[in-house]
Amino acid sequence: MSKVRWRRAGAIYVDIALLGVILLLYSPRLTGLPVHEWLGVALGLPVVVHLLWSWSWIRTATTQFIARRDARARANYIANWILFVLIVVEVASGIAISEVALPAFGVSTINDRTWRALHNQTLNATLLLLGIHAAMNWRLLVVGIRRYITIPRLLGVKRRVSTPT
Amino acid sequence: MRVAARVLGILLVALAIVVTVLLWLGPPTLAREYVVKSEVARFAPTIGHGLIQLGGESFLLAVVIYASRRWFRVRL
């Protein structure tokens, strides 16, 4: 597998893992609070990898945003920034009111009502922006999955080759 | 080295966001404490409730993606 192909496949796997982790974070009744908190802390890693793998896009989009080229691309750029801010706020407020993760390091926390409300209210906006982010990049995601995910091929599903955008 | 610089950049932006929120709300205080017996016990995992919650959240996300693409023409 060439380096470019390996990177693109890796990016798709990281995206799928990221989506899985986020959905698990939205289900504390399934994971329980300790796993919820540790998953939240661990979320930083796939987010950073996702951003690093999208770095060329970030650079180009920033340049285009400043140059005011395309309204749709600008909206996508702003939506991505809002999503990043929401995820950071979500994780930070979660850590601030954590009952397991921070106390495990010997740091005592207070279950503050305001931080708790911020944590709970940011959830809905994050889900909305996450959906918009996925919708915006849907074609790239589908093409990537068809090209690089091996499970459908193992199941005998024929791979459809299409030109990436 | 380039990757390290990018990671540092991401972390600095994240730190700036956290500091902004911290200045806005102030650090957690006992005066605003939410009194509950045990959050860990309250969120004790159960397969039934858990799967319903996971399914519900996944469905909600799918609805947002579908509505965005189908009705609001959210695409690049």
Give me the helix-helix angle, B47-70 and A3-25, nearest 10°. Answer: 120
Chain B residues closer than 8 Å to A100 by CB: 40
What is the spatial distance between Cα A159 and Cα B59, in angstroms, rounded to a whole number?
27
Q: Which residue of A has its CA nearest to B61?
A: A131
Which of A27, A100, A112 comes nearest B29 by C-beta? A112
Phi, psi of B72 (to 5 degrees): -100, 0
CA-based R_g, chain B, Å: 20
Query: pLDDT digit string (tens) for A53-104?
Result: 999 989 998 988 888 778 888 889 999 999 999 999 999 999 999 999 999 9
Q: Say which residue, B74 or B15, is predicted with more confidence.
A: B15
Query: pLDDT digit string (tens) for B29-40?
Result: 999 988 877 888
Beta strands, E only, A66-128: none
Query: Global pTM?
Result: 0.88
Contact between A132 and B60 using a beta-carbon 8 Å cutoff: no
Complex ipTM, two decimals? 0.91
Query: pLDDT digit string (tens) for A111-124?
Result: 999 999 999 999 99
pLDDT confidence of residue B52: 96
Chain A residues closer than 8 Å to B4 by CB: none
Give the closest residue to B45 by CA, choosing from A13, A56, A101, A27: A27
- Distance in Å, alpha carbon of A66 to nearest chain B alpha carbon: 18
Q: Which residue of A has its CA nearest to B51?
A: A30
pLDDT confidence of residue A113: 94
